[in-house]
Amino acid sequence: MLNYIIENENQEVRVDKFLSDTIEDMSRSSVASIIEDGGLLVNDKLQNKKYNLKIGDKVQFTVPDPVEYTVEAEEIPLDIVYEDSDLLVVNKPKGMVVHPAPGNYTGTLVNALLYHCKDSLSGINGVLRPGIVHRIDKNTSGLLIVAKNDFAHNKLAEQIKEHSFKREYQAIVYGNVKENGTVDAPIGRSKKDRKKMCITYENSKNAVTHYEVIQSYGNFTHIKCILETGRTHQIRVHMASIGHPVAGDDVYGPKKVITKLKGQCLHAKVIGFVHPRTEEYMEFNSELPVYFRKFLQEIQQ
């Protein structure tokens, strides 16, 4: 059972929003479902999800024990850029989640990989993330490497840890970025909203993003971002922190979102690494996807 005493900043907040913002990896719909099953007590009385919190309220929320879940293989088309007996390089489309998570167990990249690779995926990250060495966000498109065995996984993960793993993105950001630069600022989870990351010096990890201007178009700029580290939402947080959030970003961008982009205009364009078995350097470059090219044409006019 999770226990909370409500303080000033959370008064008049709906209890389902408070709990989903506070509990990591817990969606609002999941919270609502637990509340409907009698999992919420406020001041020792059952309450519904619409209850508005008051200062001093005692909130008790009972999260059920996790149910063991088996991820199913699904016949979902994959854009495979490269494949051998140790690894795959996949071009992930915008809108596809990388691996299953509570409330989202189907239609992910992992479901597709299980169908394509059968039992040939590394098991280091467990049953929900087989083969996944690194991730990109649901609404970020682009290249992702997948390990077929634990040997390859460990070798690739070591390169990521040592920052020798090349990851180059392209993005369209708000505003006129006049010159190249670097954002060197640690990233951690926001205390105000547990689903967001932020620049903070508490419970954070160092994060470094280098950016280069490709072309400026007045209200928007087409940039290249080279990651020195790989933190959750790194490019999105860093660019927003210098006043140039990624276009279409409904989390770190302006309130008036460019909805036609259906998420941030961010593409993992280049990936480079030393092959875990042959020890040869390999580099792959993907074309900008249609949504990105169309928006680029619009801002050029």
Q: List active site positions.
A: 137
DSSP state of 221: E
Report the alpha-carbon distance of residue 62 to residue 119 in Å, rounded: 36
Handedness of CA 196, 248, 290, 182 (dihedral sign): negative
Report the alpha-carbon distance of residue 246 to residue 255 in Å, rounded: 13
Under DSSP, is residue 18 helix (H, G, I), strand (E, B) or coil? helix
Question: Could you tell me whether strands 208-216 and 181-184 are parallel, antiparallel, or unpaired per DSSP bridges?
Answer: antiparallel
Give burial (CB, 10 Å; 0-12/13-18/19+) of 143: buried
Owner of token pair 């390859």: 152
Other Cβ atoms within 10 Å of 146 Cβ, number: 27
Residue of 113, 122, 117 whose CA lies nearest to 149: 122
Phi and psi at residue 16, in whole multiples of 5°?
A: -70, -35
Residue of 239, 183, 238 whose CA lies nearest to 210: 183
Instruction: Please state, in angstroms and as integers, the Cα–Cα distance from residue 254 to each residue in 173, 234, 238, 296, following that order.
Output: 11, 17, 15, 19
Report the alpha-carbon distance of residue 4 to residue 195 in Å, rounded: 18
Structure tokens given for 263? 């998420």
